[in-house]
Structure 1
Amino acid sequence: MDKLIFHVDVNSAFLSWTAVKMLKEEPGSIDLRTIPSAIGGDVSKRHGVITACSIPAKKQGVRTGEPVMRSLEKCPSLRLFPSDFKTYREYSAKFIDILKKYALAVEQVSIDEAYLDMTGTDEPITKAEKIKEEIYESLGFTVNIGISTIKLLAKMASDFEKPYKVHTLFPEEIKEKMWTLPIEKLHGCGYKTSEKLKNIGVKTIGDAAKLDKALLCSLLGEKSGEYIYESANGRGSDVVSGEREAAKSYSNETTLPTDIRVSTYDKEMPPVIHWLSESVGKRLTKDEAAGYTISVIAKTSSFKRRSKQTTLVEPTNDIKDIESISLILMRELCFGERGLFNENDGIRLVGVGVSNLAENECKQLDIFSYMKEKSAQDEIRLNESKKKEKTDKLDTMLKKINEKYGEGKIKKGG
């Protein structure tokens, strides 16, 4: 029996969940999804980066990952709202609970998307419609669902026309539905890879599928070349795992809509680092994890990818710690000796990560807990020292008495 896999993706998740919460708290208020609106940054100070935006905002040029001020220049009427991770986690959990009612296995791959093993399902399109309608009727937000026999194609299908749609991309549909798409639309094909392929005349996914595999590997490297060849030809994993492995590291990165350069660094880099640090720190805290190593990465407009990291004495998951250290590392990466800006490059992608995780039993102490514990230990040591000093004095006194009056005449407690 062929596998049947659904990929379910929440449409503009952060914005949708904020909109649903507001409509629930203020019935009759305006639906944020119907007006130019966005999530991200410090609303009062109007800085930071956009993490989600409505379709009306997108039509006015607003894009995720760009600075808030740039979005406001494009769309002065843009309504901004802060991130609300507590609400996001609540709606994500309810979303996954509904999916588990329908599937043999549910593999959650991010807060707003999951793969479902629906093998053996009759009339999959009808079932997908039922799932998306239940989510909308029960929770108030929309999803897209992609259907195929492997995860890659299901993911590709769910990215077709949005919002609130069901699409299929079965092997027999690849030529018509996938091969005609621009090469950059292939899931997993980044900007750098797509540019290399375009330089040799590969404009569409179909062009890549028809190339010799060895040629792709020689151009992109063995691993990337093989991935592009296999993916373009519609081959990939069909395993949907219901369990997630414990994370070995936590990271987040974003591709910027325009390059950050020397002249814009102080204005545009801090809000990006803040958003990335907040994302990583909140995930660490949610999983009760902490790490010793903090790292940053940057990719330039000329495709150089550099990183810098530092290892702490104590593990951390504190957002302020991650942010302040990341800002120092990024400044060194850009302005230090052999820094990226010394080569007159712009920064196109920025990332923040925490790794070298502490063992679960080694919970991080905050400074107050540390001082409290240290004070208690010092007090114990002081009491033990005083007790020993008192005992030593008594022993010395008894020794002198016994030497004067005869051994064994007086004993402790006698």
Structure 2
Amino acid sequence: MDDRVILHCDCNGFYASVECALNPAYRSVPMAVCGDPESRHGVILAKNELAKAFGVQTAETVWQARRKCPELVLAPAHHKKYREFSEAVNAIYCQYTDLVEPFSIDESWLDVTGSRTLFGSGVQIANELRRRVKKETDLTISVGVSFNKIFAKLGSDYKKPDATTLITRENYRQILWPLSVGSMIYVGKVAAEKLSRAGIDTIGQLAQADEALIERLLGKAGMAVQLYARGEDEEPVRPAGAEREVKSVGNGITFRRNLEGEEDVRAGLLMLCDTVAARLRRYGLCCQTVQVQIKSPQFKVISRQRQLERGTDLSRELFAASMELVRQNWDLRAPIRMLTVTAAGLGGKDSGEQLSLFADQAVLAQREKQRQLETAMDRVRSKYGERALSFASLLKTDIVSKSQGEKLRVEGSEGPDSPAGPPEQ
């Protein structure tokens, strides 16, 4: 049986490339797209090749970037435009196969196994896509071509910008195994450090390591990553428009100032639990587990979770569980830079109502009343905007800016669990 032919297409410096397409003057100067320079969200989101030559890096602060490149030109982010360009690029992909699975706003997998009789080999299709994307959108893409999704992604990362890399069963050990283990998808910084302390620094060493050792270091997630390193990834590319199974719903935010004391922490958690609960109700889901991640100003991170007595989609119950986790695991006198709340162990709404036959009817009635209230809030916000209703205790808080509050409402994370932790937003 012939191998599948999978492409991973990655737009190069996507945000910066879109800004350059919209404003060609940016092409001749070192430029970067950044968050608000006046807040702690003033970080580099993307940079063009000229800025990259100065050593400007994604995720560093604006002041760090300007120390490297005093002439750096900063452009604000235009997320609506990025979505429009992403849709245009994916529309091109869909002309070659209906198996197009976006991985993020600027990355997609394509299964072109059945497209070769019409459009040629995987490499030929990749080169044609690069040509068309550049001509029709003024963006460039790098493409990995391989027999599975993970190696295709590693291939698109291997050579940038505007390149095609072929990873085969015959060459993957020579090309991929010498790479840093941190290059592997789903191997985050913490996992890479654990592996390095065990003497595992490359993808090849990960592939050949003792399985019991990997499970001991990284758990079941590590075992999956080891299979990926060996080329044993059989996950299919989902058809265009197919919905992923939602396994967790979360939201996190870096606050405009450190949270100091219980009142600040309560406000931060309430904002997050409100948005997470609203998303659960939108999906018709309840969660059985709540996880809270806390990041200090020194970037120390702890993550704790607890099982709930019953499934819930109510912000009040998520907040109560989250606040209890913080009290049990954090000194409320210590400042907090970032909070993330994640609902996991998801199931249908019925899972939230599996109460004992002897449960207090007053409790049942109170929960139903709370659900009606929060559902009514959902309807008002849907009709009049997310800012139409808020909790009274949040009206005077200054822990988020107006733009952060709006972003908190429209952005979050829903999707399969992964070994990597949630990004700092």
Displacement of 1:198 in angstroms is: 1.1
Displacement of 1:21 in angstroms is: 1.6
Q: Equivalences for 1:22-171 in 2 at 5 Å?
A: 22-23=23-24, 29-31=25-27, 34-42=28-36, 48-120=42-114, 121=116, 122-171=120-169
Query: SS where residue 103 of structure 2 aligns?
Result: strand
Normalised by the length of structure 1, the TM-score is 0.65
Displacement of 1:11 in angstroms is: 0.8
> What letter corresponds to residue 51 of structure 1 in structure 2?
L
Query: SS where residue 151 of structure 2 aligns?
Result: helix
- Once residues 307 and 36 of structure 1 are traced to their aligned partners in structure 2, the CA distance between those partners, rounded to angstroms, is 44
Q: Equivalences for 1:164-179 in 2 at 5 Å?
A: 164-179=162-177
CA spacing shift, 1:292–1:71, aligned 2, 3 Å:
farther
- Once residues 187 and 95 of structure 1 are traced to their aligned partners in structure 2, the CA distance between those partners, rounded to angstroms, is 23
Runs of 5+ in structure 1 lacking a partner? 24-28, 316-324, 371-414
Query: SS where residue 51 of structure 1 aligns?
Result: strand
> What letter corresponds to residue 293 of structure 2 in structure 1?
I
Query: SS where residue 2 of structure 1 aligns?
Result: coil
Runs of 5+ in structure 2 lacking a partner? 307-311, 350-374, 385-425
CA contact (8 A) 1:216 1:226 kept: yes
CA contact (8 A) 2:144 2:156 kept: yes
- Once residues 226 and 142 of structure 1 are traced to their aligned partners in structure 2, the CA distance between those partners, rounded to angstroms, is 35
- Once residues 82 and 347 of structure 2 are traced to their aligned partners in structure 1, the CA distance between those partners, rounded to angstroms, is 25
Displacement of 1:134 in angstroms is: 0.2
- Once residues 74 and 295 of structure 1 are traced to their aligned partners in structure 2, the CA distance between those partners, rounded to angstroms, is 38
CA contact (8 A) 2:9 2:141 kept: yes
CA spacing shift, 1:306–1:39, aligned 2, 3 Å:
farther
Query: What does residue 380 of structure 1 align with?
Result: none
Detail structure 1 runs of 4+ shifted over 4 Å in the superposition: 43-47, 246-254, 288-296, 299-303, 311-315, 344-347, 349-359, 367-370
1:229 to 226, 229, 232: 226
Query: What does residue 204 of structure 2 align with?
Result: 206
- Once residues 305 and 335 of structure 2 are traced to their aligned partners in structure 1, the CA distance between those partners, rounded to angstroms, is 15
1:339 to 306, 323, 330: 330
Q: Equivalences for 1:230-269 in 2 at 5 Å?
A: 230-242=227-239, 243-245=242-244, 247=246, 250-251=249-250, 265=258
Query: SS where residue 65 of structure 1 aligns?
Result: coil
CA spacing shift, 1:245–1:312, aligned 2, 3 Å:
closer
CA contact (8 A) 1:39 1:53 kept: yes
1:145-198 CA distances to partner (integer Å, 9 max, x unpaired)?
Answer: 101111000011010121111111122212100111111112211111111111
Displacement of 1:30 in angstroms is: 3.7
CA contact (8 A) 1:12 1:52 kept: yes
Displacement of 1:249 in angstroms is: 5.2
CA spacing shift, 1:337–1:313, aligned 2, 3 Å:
closer
- Once residues 233 and 102 of structure 2 are traced to their aligned partners in structure 1, the CA distance between those partners, rounded to angstroms, is 18
Displacement of 1:227 in angstroms is: 1.6
Give the greater-gyration-radius structure (CA): 1
State the superposition RMSD in angstroms: 4.4
CA contact (8 A) 1:249 1:357 kept: no
CA contact (8 A) 2:293 2:301 kept: no
Query: What does residue 22 of structure 2 align with?
Result: 21
CA contact (8 A) 2:6 2:122 kept: no
Query: What does residue 407 of structure 2 align with?
Result: none
CA spacing shift, 1:305–1:71, aligned 2, 3 Å:
farther
Displacement of 1:289 in angstroms is: 7.6
Aligned residues: 326
CA spacing shift, 1:296–1:202, aligned 2, 3 Å:
same
Query: What does residue 297 of structure 1 align with?
Result: 293
- Once residues 109 and 228 of structure 2 are traced to their aligned partners in structure 1, the CA distance between those partners, rounded to angstroms, is 17
Query: What does residue 319 of structure 1 align with?
Result: none
- Once residues 32 and 284 of structure 2 are traced to their aligned partners in structure 1, the CA distance between those partners, rounded to angstroms, is 30
CA contact (8 A) 1:43 1:81 kept: no
% identical aligned pairs: 28
- Once residues 113 and 20 of structure 1 are traced to their aligned partners in structure 2, the CA distance between those partners, rounded to angstroms, is 18
- Once residues 186 and 67 of structure 2 are traced to their aligned partners in structure 1, the CA distance between those partners, rounded to angstroms, is 32
CA spacing shift, 1:135–1:350, aligned 2, 3 Å:
farther
Displacement of 1:240 in angstroms is: 0.8
- Once residues 357 and 39 of structure 1 are traced to their aligned partners in structure 2, the CA distance between those partners, rounded to angstroms, is 39
Normalised by the length of structure 2, the TM-score is 0.63
Query: SS where residue 9 of structure 1 aligns?
Result: strand
- Once residues 104 and 243 of structure 2 are traced to their aligned partners in structure 1, the CA distance between those partners, rounded to angstroms, is 11
CA contact (8 A) 1:5 1:116 kept: yes
- Once residues 181 and 71 of structure 2 are traced to their aligned partners in structure 1, the CA distance between those partners, rounded to angstroms, is 35
Query: What does residue 386 of structure 1 align with?
Result: none
CA spacing shift, 1:352–1:50, aligned 2, 3 Å:
farther
CA contact (8 A) 2:11 2:142 kept: yes
- Once residues 107 and 293 of structure 2 are traced to their aligned partners in structure 1, the CA distance between those partners, rounded to angstroms, is 25
- Once residues 56 and 11 of structure 1 are traced to their aligned partners in structure 2, the CA distance between those partners, rounded to angstroms, is 13
Query: SS where residue 80 of structure 1 aligns?
Result: strand
Query: What does residue 376 of structure 1 align with?
Result: none
1:186-217 CA distances to partner (integer Å, 9 max, x unpaired)?
Answer: 22111111111111211211112111212221
CA spacing shift, 1:63–1:346, aligned 2, 3 Å:
farther
1:292-349 CA distances to partner (integer Å, 9 max, x unpaired)?
Answer: 99976246767643479xx99679xxxxxxxxx9xxx89x95xx6742798x9998x8
